[in-house]
Structure 1
Amino acid sequence: MGRLRVTGPGAKIEAVEVRGQVVIDAPNVTLRDSKILACDTDSIVAVRAGRPADGYDADGARIENNLLGCDGAADQRASRGVSDVYGSARGLIVRGNNIWNVSNGITIEREGLVQGNFVRDLGHKAGDHHSGISNHGGATDVIFDHNTVLLSQEGVSAPIVVYSDFAPARNVTITRNLVSGGSYCVYGGESGAFAPSSGHIRIIGNRFSKIYGHNGHCGIYGQIATFAPTNRSDLSGNAWDEDLRPLSGE
């Protein structure tokens, strides 16, 4: 089927193949065990919550165990794999997806869990500034947990990005992820128009790999950038994946 828009509250979309964008415009929708292939679109899966006057109330969406990518020509890609379009989705769960050939893998802004996803082989165009999994400030409760994000391309910011672009970064926990590539492997919220962040950014128990790094780093320039932990426990338990040595500076 082509583009799919979901408007039924509580709908369950399972084991389908969609050659086009999936747009979720209703609460408590599940998209599971499916293949969604879309190129040259803003988001492969667009979760639209935050404009209820227009019928855009997609809180509680679950996007689980899907293949999300673009299989078009060499110069084609999607802008995002999964996106909280208006930055207001509550209770969003993005779990166990395989995402490739996108400019940015997963963007979640307000509240939710991003867990167990594999983001890799981003699609690069001149001028791109990629990220694997991202938040841009003002979160109420966001968790990035147990994801694998491997960025082999040039022109990337980081596998995991927290910026203060739209509001001071806050309330984001980054734990048990495996990351490599980018300029740095993690950005910690102290950059953007609203930096410095308001705290409660936690980077705990992650594995950093040199597989796509440079000069002994996880990324081109280092491991973690723009991060000022509120207390010592906010940066702990992180290690190199190759030999389990603790990350320096903790």
Structure 2
Amino acid sequence: MTESGAPSTNGKRPRRRAMAAVAVLAAVIVLAAGFLINEYRSPAGEPVAATQGAPSPGLGSPVPTLSAPGSAAPSSSVPSSSAKAPQASLGKTTLDAAGGFPGPGNTGVPSGTQLSAYSGPCTVTRNGFEVTGKIINCDPFMIRAQGVVIRKSLVKGTLTTTEATEFSFTLEDSEVSAGMWQGPAVLSTNMTIRRSNIHGGATAVTCAANCDIRDSWLHGQLIPDNVDWHLGGFLANDTGDGGRSNVTLIHNTIACDAKSNNSGGGCSGNINLFADFGPVSGVTIRNNLLGANPDISYCLYGGATAGKAHTSGVRDIVVEDNVFQRGRNGKCGGYGPVTSFNSGLPGNRWKNNTWQDDGKPVAPAN
């Protein structure tokens, strides 16, 4: 069974005109048009054109300001390893081999895709079920089947499987907007994610076991005042499948970009490996951009945090070729770029991780 939408070739973005005499009018037109395009809403579920990777207004997904190489200060809203930000276009911006990182221009629903209302079940139980080009108003969108595919769609809610099962899904060229709640936007087992824009919730993605995430943008966590929530970009703190995490994070932009609130709640780290409920192991973290935020503790927790119940079983964590932003304080996080990575554990490897601005090495720390 499939839910499909038809592609469009006329989803053009508005452009500002640099004419001083009409500056105010032009700004009003651009803002109004951008709002209408990015809302992803239409009466009676009629198709609307999507703009590549742009968070829907009102869903609380701020675009993080990330620094370009050679500058410690933020210079662009587009996370990129190139000083030149990706240009807006009708089609998807290709993720180039030179190291351009995922962001609003190359993740999420491709520009020009026609989205229409999803009318299928909010709990999927049919193996091989596919959804394409839909606005999915399900919270949660629950996967209780194998081989489910969500493609070129907007999920307005959480997307989840059940831990320690064989249920599985693939999320491609899509956006998940979870809104504000004390949990992850996407979880928990047997997931494959490609070129997707994931925001909302307290954590963008939580993985219990068997998660392969590439070319995606994890960001935009949400927290209200008067609560002590712990936020993150990616979290692995449990295990399935014989005690191994089996996590692959390759070529993503991962940022916990929320500010701390009035109760001390806020971001722990961008990537959080904690041996709370099982020994985190079998993790590959390669060629990712880790966004700076002085309100997070560290940009990376490496699995060997003292006092955790299963730290003794942590092993086979490979962290290589990643790029750390320095941010305003020059340390990526409030205390530093990394903690709790033990190079002496079996199979652990730290190699060629660098600062974005000058290419100098980032050393592991435990």
Is the TM-score greater than 0.5? yes
On the 8 A contact 1:137/1:170 being kept in 2, the answer is: no
On the 8 A contact 2:128/2:146 being kept in 1, the answer is: yes
Secondary structure at the counterpart of residue 196 of structure 1: helix
Alpha carbons of 1:24 and 1:222: their partners in 2 closer, same or farther (altered >3 Å)? Answer: same
> Alpha-carbon deviation of 1:165?
0.8
Distance in 1, Cα, partners of 2:219 & 2:160: 19
On the 8 A contact 2:319/2:349 being kept in 1, the answer is: yes
State whether structure 2 residue 271 is matched by structure 1 residue 160.
Answer: yes
Residue equivalent to 1:80 = 184
Deviations 1:192-244 (A, max 9, x none): 22113431111111000023xx6320101011111102379700110011222
When you count strand as a share of all residues, which structure comes out higher?
1
Structure number, greater radius of gyration: 2
2:324 pairs with one of 194, 200, 208? 208
2:355 pairs with one of 230, 240, 249? 240
Deviations 1:76-125 (A, max 9, x none): 446211101xxxx34x2122211122211011121131112112221013
State whether structure 2 residue 215 is matched by structure 1 residue 116.
Answer: yes
On the 8 A contact 1:143/1:174 being kept in 2, the answer is: yes
Residue equivalent to 2:193 = 94
Structure 1 residues 33-112: aligned runs within 5 Å: 33-38=152-157, 44-48=158-162, 50-51=164-165, 57-59=166-168, 61-70=169-178, 76-77=180-181, 79-84=183-188, 89-90=189-190, 92-112=191-211
TM-score after normalising by structure 2: 0.58
When you count helix as a share of all residues, which structure comes out higher?
2
Distance in 1, Cα, partners of 2:347 & 2:237: 23
On the 8 A contact 1:189/1:196 being kept in 2, the answer is: no
Residue equivalent to 1:7 = 125
Alpha carbons of 1:30 and 1:170: their partners in 2 closer, same or farther (altered >3 Å)? Answer: same
Counterpart residue type for residue 231 of structure 2: H
Distance in 1, Cα, partners of 2:125 & 2:146: 8
State whether structure 2 residue 348 is matched by structure 1 residue 223.
Answer: no
Of 8-17 and 116-125, the range deviating more from structure 2? 116-125
1:16 pairs with one of 134, 149, 158? 134
2:280 pairs with one of 161, 164, 169? 169
Counterpart residue type for residue 142 of structure 1: V
Deviations 1:105-160 (A, max 9, x none): 01112113111211222101321100111111433421111110122222111111
Alpha carbons of 1:101 and 1:137: their partners in 2 closer, same or farther (altered >3 Å)? Answer: closer
Residue equivalent to 1:194 = 310
Distance in 2, Cα, partners of 1:101 & 1:111: 22
Alpha carbons of 1:131 and 1:246: their partners in 2 closer, same or farther (altered >3 Å)? Answer: same
Secondary structure at the counterpart of residue 301 of structure 2: strand
Counterpart residue type for residue 207 of structure 1: V
Distance in 2, Cα, partners of 1:202 & 1:133: 16
Secondary structure at the counterpart of residue 298 of structure 2: coil
Secondary structure at the counterpart of residue 183 of structure 2: strand
- Aligned identity (percent) is 23
Q: Aligned-residue CA RMSD in angstroms? A: 2.2
Secondary structure at the counterpart of residue 304 of structure 2: coil
On the 8 A contact 1:137/1:162 being kept in 2, the answer is: no
TM-score after normalising by structure 1: 0.83
> Alpha-carbon deviation of 1:20?
2.2
Distance in 2, Cα, partners of 1:110 & 1:79: 17
Alpha carbons of 1:45 and 1:249: their partners in 2 closer, same or farther (altered >3 Å)? Answer: closer
Counterpart residue type for residue 63 of structure 1: L
Give unpaired runs (5+ residues) of structure 1.
39-43, 52-56
State whether structure 2 residue 235 is matched by structure 1 residue 134.
Answer: yes
